[in-house]
Amino acid sequence: MSNHLDDSCFFCKITKGEREIPSFKVLETDLNFAFLDIGPLAEGHTLIIPKYHSARMDELPDEYLAEMLPLAKKIAKALGVVDYNILQNNGKIAHQHVFHVHFHVIPKPNEKEGLIIGWPRVEQPKDVLAKKLEDIVSKL
């Protein structure tokens, strides 16, 4: 495990276990830590965090990320729900509130519980999409 943790970060403290901040640990690996959200959108709402401090996903080493979605899959199966959301936000205007990378596994047991979102879809002309595609591909 990396020692790349921030002593002032709430989530970094959680990865250190009961010594720092107690949590309802779901599972732990050498690289990541999963625990129940204390303000869940639905019963079983779980957070997966790396044991490496990084505010944004694009700054996190790939070895941590490579394990996070398989962990989310295991947790989703263990929750025993058919419908669920996997959510990950980067930056304040993208609704990130704790600036340590984290993935939410949010059960959606019915229409009223779980994640509720709007999706203000905007149609784009094909030439605008083609230009954006060219721009993205040129930077990969």
Q: Which residues are catalytic?
A: 102
Whether the pLDDT of residue 57 is over 60: the answer is yes
For residue range 89-131, list pLDDT tens digits in order. Answer: 999 999 999 999 999 999 999 999 999 988 888 999 999 999 9
Is the pTM higher than 0.85? The answer reads yes
DSSP string, 80-102: T-S-EEEE---SGGGT--SSS--
Q: What is the pLDDT of residue 52?
A: 97
Q: How confident is the model at residue 18 (pLDDT cuts 50, 70, 90)?
A: low
